Chains A and B, each alone.
Chain A
Amino acid sequence: MHAAISIKNISKNYGALQALDDISLSIEPGEFFGLLGPNGAGKTTLISILAGLVRADHGHASIMGADVQSHFREARRMLGVVPQELVFDPFFTVRETLQFQSGYFGIRNNDAWVNEIIAHLDLAGKADSNMRSLSGGMKRRVLVAQALVHRPPVIILDEPTAGVDVELRQSLWQFISRLNQDGHTIVLTTHYLEEAQALCQRIAMLKQGKIVALDSTENLLRQHGSIKKNGEAKVDLEDVFVNIMSGNAL
């Protein structure tokens, strides 16, 4: 069985800046995987390479066994990406946006599934509203819906809860968790480390284009967690993250 995502010796430079330095990583089908790191660590570049938005200088990446460059059609059909920025097409309604996105993947007669996504993301009341009229939170939901419209087995969420209120964050995570339980592979980048700790089974941490930690969430907490003054184990991913990023791993 193919890995959901396979990354082999990926490097990427932007001029003199080395965004990714010989990254290798494998994510298994059905995993809920966290990709963490400070700003500029290379997370979005890595996601962009997987999505075909950026071409790697070296190395190979594949989605469910399909190389993202040589078999880009298969790879992109297997992948749904929720981009970090709140981008939208101001000409169209929510429903049109989703119908077009479905059609881009060559899927016809997808209205039943589009309606189901609209209902599950609480977009029904805004389905025929122009995208411009939506709040930031609603636009974020549409971005999630767009990533799901072609039913990809692998979903990447690039900071999906940035600037989102607590209520929407919770409903979004419930929805994403349900997708994961249904068998979708989820890759998440976030700066809310408590979310990553609660949701991700395995985590990779990037720093200056290199993987500096890769393990199950449980192992990371066990190996790098500090001890509180009262003797209790402090199992907080934020401390683990700070320790690893500062090079003070225990």
Chain B
Amino acid sequence: MRNTVNKPLLVYGSGFPTLLHKEIKRFYKVGFQTVAAPVLTAILYLMIFGHVLEGKEIYGRLSYTAFLIPGLVMMSVLQNAFANTSSSLIQSKVTGNLVFVLLAPFSHLEFYTAYVLAAVFRGVVVGMGVLVFTAWYAPPAFEYPLWILSFAFLGAAILGSMGLIAGIWADKYDQLAAFQNFIIMPATMLSGVFYSIHSLPVAWQTVSHFNPFFYMIDGFRYGFFGVSDMSPWTSLGIVTCFFVLVSVVALRLLQKGYKLRN
């Protein structure tokens, strides 16, 4: 074996691209579960709700199916972005292989960025899959693509960050499931995916305004139709503030090594 100590100095770069690559490859290897299954779920939602509420018009000009598609796309983006970071972290913690990442010279910023970008990537892949398979029911307009991209990225990054926080906090799958089922799922389902909040009683409209997920979906939908419950600028401001908030929390937990380096 070659002498490995007195070799010419190795050239070290950042480990960030490898961690990002690993996180993407992790979900790619189980693509049926991580991509195909959520796409199928969204298609089923569309078939059931689209059929039941056929003939109903939203904003006075959109068919219910057309209205529903961007909501389902964004819901899939959000839920899968959350699932990617949270499941990766909890699995690595429970099986113990997170030690390999913790032994490597990652800064908390590199760690955060790699995990969240992988979550964004998975969210966008699933969202595109949902869009491709649902668009033929009612081809969407894509009126403002930049709004679509902005809200898709920010929404996925927020849920990726929340998944990171949940994955760091949870010690067992049960706790993570509670986070997912009692916080993420209700907040997503009650965010206007299936309805315009103008169809709700005033009290529930007010409650919806405290749900940040509502702004993500409403802004995303504006990109398709040029019409939404709120001004897209208001939604963008609120979503951006929420992104900063969850990012700061996640980065702070990583920097302190909360439940990771103890």
Contacts A88-B97, A151-B7 supplied; 5 other A-B pairs, CB < 8 Å: A51-B102, A52-B261, A91-B29, A151-B4, A183-B3
Cβ contact within 8 Å between B4 and A105:
no
The answer for the CA separation of A102 and B15 in the assembled complex, in Å, is 8
A96 to B26 alpha-carbon distance, docked (Å): 11
The interface residues of chain B, by DSSP majority, are classed as: loop
Residues of A within 8 A of B99 (CB): 53, 83, 87
In the bound complex, CA of A231 to CA of B74 (Å): 83
- Nearest CB of chain A from residue B94's CB, rounded to whole Å: 10
Query: Is the CB–CB distance between B15 and A52 below 8 Å?
Result: no
Closest to B29 in A: A91
Residues of A within 8 A of B262 (CB): 54-55
**A198-232 toward B: CB 8 Å interface, digit per residue (1/0)?**
00000000000000000000000000000000000
Interface size on A, residues (CB 8 A): 42
Task: Judge whether A116 and B1 touch: CB under 8 Å.
Answer: yes
Cβ-based interface call for A169 (8 A): no
What chain B residues lie within 8 Å of A107 (beta carbons)? 10-13
Assess whether B104 is interfacial by the CB under 8 Å rule.
yes
Contact digits for B81-106, partner A, Cβ 8 Å, 1 yes 0 no: 00000000000100111011111111
Within 8 Å CB of A87, what residues of B?
95-97, 99-100
Q: Given A53-B261, A104-B19: A77 and B105 within 8 A (CB)? A: yes
Nearest to A80 among chain B residues (CB) is B103
A148-B4 in contact given A81-B103, A104-B15, A106-B13 (Cβ < 8 Å): yes
B22 at the interface (CB under 8 A from A): yes
A92 to B15, CA, bound (A): 18
On chain A, the residues within 8 Å of B2 by CB distance are: 116
In the complex, A184 has a CB within 8 A of chain B? yes
Chain A residue, CB-CB nearest to B101: A104
Residue-by-residue, is B105-134 near A (CB-CB < 8 Å gives 1, otherwise 0)? 111000000000000000000000000000
B1 touches A120 (CB 8 A): yes
**B100 / chain A contacts, CB cutoff of 8 Å:** 87, 89, 100-101, 104, 146
Q: Does B237 lie at the interface of the complex (its beta carbon under 8 Å from any beta carbon of A)?
A: no
| Interface size, B (range) | 35 or more
Across the interface, which residues of B come within 8 angstroms of A136, CB to CB? Answer: none
Contact with B along A131-161 (1 / 0, CB 8 A): 0000000000000001010110100000000
Q: Give chain A nearest CB distance to B93 CB in angstroms.
A: 11
Contact present for A103 and B4 (CB under 8 Å): no
Report if A128 contacts B (CB, 8 A).
no
Determine the distance from Cα of A91 to Cα of B30 in the docked complex, in whole angstroms: 9
Taking a contact as CB atoms closer than 8 A, the residue among B10, B12, B25, B96 that contacts A85 in the complex is B96
Q: Which of A72, A96, A103, A183 contacts B5 (CB 8 A)?
A: A183
**B5 adjacent to A182 (CB under 8 Å):** yes
Q: Across the two chains, which residue of chain B brings its CB closest to A88?
A: B97
Complex alpha-carbon distance, A83 and B106, angstroms: 19
Question: Using a CB-CB cutoff of 8 Å, which residues 49-82 of chain A contact chain B?
Answer: 51-55, 72-74, 76-77, 79, 81
Point out which of A53, A106, A120, A179 has the most chain B C-beta atoms below 10 A from its C-beta.
A106
Q: In the complex, which residue of chain B has the Cβ closest to the Cβ of A49?
A: B261
* CB proximity to A under 8 Å, residues B196-240: none
Give A210 to B230 CA distance when docked, in angstroms.
64
Query: Given the complex, which residues of B lie within 8 Å of A105, measured CB to CB?
Result: 12, 15, 104-105
Residues on A with beta carbons closer than 8 Å to the beta carbon of B18 = 100, 102-104, 106
- A81 and B3 CA atoms in complex are apart in Å by 19
CA distance in complex: A92, B24 (Å): 12
- The one of A81, A89, A103, A106 that contacts B97, using a Cβ cutoff of 8 Å: A89
**Cα separation A146 to B99 with both chains bound (whole Å):** 11
Q: In the complex, A77 Cα to B14 Cα: how many Å?
A: 12
CB within 8 Å of B: which of A170-209? 178-179, 182-184
> Top 5 nearest A-B pairs by Cβ distance?
A103-B18, A104-B104, A87-B96, A183-B5, A106-B13
Residue contact A73 to B105, C-beta cutoff 8 Å: yes
Q: Are A55 and B257 in contact (CB under 8 A)?
A: yes
- Inter-chain contacts of A182 with B (CB < 8 A): 1, 3-5
Supply 18 A–B pairs (Cβ within 8 Å), ascending by A: A55-B257, A55-B262, A83-B96, A83-B99, A87-B95, A87-B97, A89-B97, A89-B100, A90-B95, A91-B26, A92-B29, A100-B22, A103-B15, A103-B21, A104-B101, A106-B15, A151-B7, A178-B1
Judging by beta carbons under 8 Å apart, are A54 and B15 in contact?
A: no
Q: In the assembled complex, which residues on chain B have CB atoms less than 8 Å from the CB atom of A116? A: 1-2
